[in-house]
A and B are shown apart, each in its own frame.
Chain A
Amino acid sequence: MAQTLFAKIWDAHRIAETAGGAHLIAIDRVFLHERTGAAALRRMAETGRTVLDPARVFAVMDHIVDTRPGRGDGTLMPGGEGFITETRAAARAAGITLFDVNDRDQGIIHVISPEQGIVLPGLTLVAPDSHTCTQGAFGALAWGIGSSEAEHAMVTGTLRMERPRTMRVTFTGQLAPGVTAKDMALALIATHGAGGGAGHAVEFAGEAVTALDMEGRLTLANMATEFSTMTGIIAPDAKTFAYLAGRPYAPEAFDDPYWATLRSDADASFDREIVIDAAAIAPMVSWGTSPEHTIPVTATVPHGPERAHTYIGLPAGAPLAGTPIDAAFIGSCTNSRISDLRRAAALLKGRRIAPTIRKALVVPGSLAVKRQAEAEGLDKVFEAAGFEWRMSGCSLCFYAGGEGFAEGSRVISSTNRNFEGRQGPGIRTHIASPETVAASALAGVIADPRLLAREEASA
């Protein structure tokens, strides 16, 4: 019988059916971070349980580590150092692989796991982090869980799971110049709602998806959780295997015929299908306080929940482009990879951000991305333009009580969430692609990056 990619991986990992009709699913990789992983490791130690297979459990410091140069265990977040030192001690005691604060390969989970070849096509991978779905871009079944389930996965090598329904989101045609994977994700959520994928595991497919490079695919899959799905998965292809070849934790060769089976069969059926014309997508920017409150940068603010208009300070009918901004952020597991930094730097090169911008940060997703960017001179481009150049980490994707933006600031951000207070009390966040962040930082107002690119082409 024809099968979806999701079904192939799920069924290959099904150990048993439980009495209640749920499935016991084998988990190949568990990844922890210091913010929520510490709680799982602590409970495990308290109950005297141990990790079933420590060689397949990994931990990293990414969420609350300081990103200022010269960092150590100290962080500006109140009590933050305790999370770091406790996670380090617990990870060592549990015998799992740890990417510590200043290890050469430290970075955000969903950046370093592909970089190191820890995620592989056909694996199941979980982490107590909602953006674990990012790694579905490699044809793995990867999803976010809570700390209790992380403990369950470490101790038993399994999770007890209800089988989700399947959905395919097909992006037909090709993206227009200046439009990116981030805009694809935002267009999907804007059209079908932040809860639109509930109960489903999504496969992203279509010409515009296969045309993306691996980093673009990671960006697209990253936002699956903002669509409320269990995960987002993309069938692996030659690009996927080429990316992984030679990575430290990847197999030496992908020559097992198994790898070629990892795709939905041509006549496989999905419980739900959504088709989106990729060619019609424009650069997208959020106007409100949910990722679904997103419109093309050229559009005017629609009627939304009153509270969202009040919080963000933009009435229905107001044009989004031209809205003055106070700060800019490039980083996060959505958009902090080398290709993201290259595209933003291409627009910033030889220019200065507007004098009204009070804080502009670029935070590479990993120390490897940072080294690569520095080898290409991108750090100098960002600094000359007026951005601060940082160590890697999650940084101001969220506010943990330490470093922040000035209260009430309006921030253009390459992150994934624009919730009330997400980046700090009263902070108004507009999520967008790195090029839209760069163009807006230069203009001092929310701006369409295509205009800048055109200016460049005609110069």
Chain B
Amino acid sequence: MRSYIGKRLLAIIPIFLFATLLSFVLIHLSPVDPAEVYLTVAHIHPTEELLAEVRHEFGLDQPLLVQYVESLMKMCRLDFGTSYVTKEPVWQEVAHRMPATLQLAFSSICLAVLISVPIGFLSAVYKNSVIDHFSRLLAFFGASIPQFWLGYLLIFFLSVKLDLFPVQGKGTWAHLFLPSLTLSLGLIAIYTRLLRTSVLEQMQEPYVLYARTRGIKEKVIMGKHVLKIAISPMITGLGMNIGKLLSGTIIVEVVFSWPGFGRYFVEAILNRDIPVIQCYVFLVACIYIVCNLIVDLLQMVMDPRISWKGRTSP
């Protein structure tokens, strides 16, 4: 197990290097001079003299390779430079906003699990019943509706018309509910159907028939055995959807004025705030890698048939 984790951790290095190189190349392929952007967002008229000063200050007059290596070394120290717009250290800005984003993401995952597990499970147990039709409808709706539009709809009906929740901002549980629901609906759509399919598959397995013939209660079979195994693909899906969730927070944070990192990133893109963009790419790459590793380890813990060598035991 240790060697497996070690190998997986080593594999992070090339992935991380590739992600940072890609972001560096993409940023430098842009036709806009970062020094010019820096002065423009500061509302300073970019004379040639000032441009040269800024380029020197940021090391933009160095060869590209030197720039890349330096930025990589700084990243390892969590030094992403200062934001062009706020003139504050990027890491400080991110650290200030990240808790809000994580709170939103975590509550969305919790909400998605709380809603999709019972609905998915019951729609499999009561196949073709009302609850099954409802879950199918929910899945269609959740998978197809654009997040920003769903956000506006929820605000309009639940906030403006019914006055149940505040329209925007952060503070209480009430502020958290609508953005979490908006963000989680896409996940609910996926997990509900995934769990339903998985439970139906497990119900056809011989061990279920064997357990029934042994006289084990149906409740125990379904709850203790079937659900435990059927939930495994959902955990994989959860790991794979973390990225989707993070990109979703960008839209949801803007719609609900949620003061998180996603909103900050949107402004960074609009302002071409390169240090912030680089930091975001770095963080998202790290989150993807770590989440995938955690999901793999969790699955192994939950399903002993999956070996540490990465293949299923007979």
- Answer yes or no: are A and B bound together in one complex: no
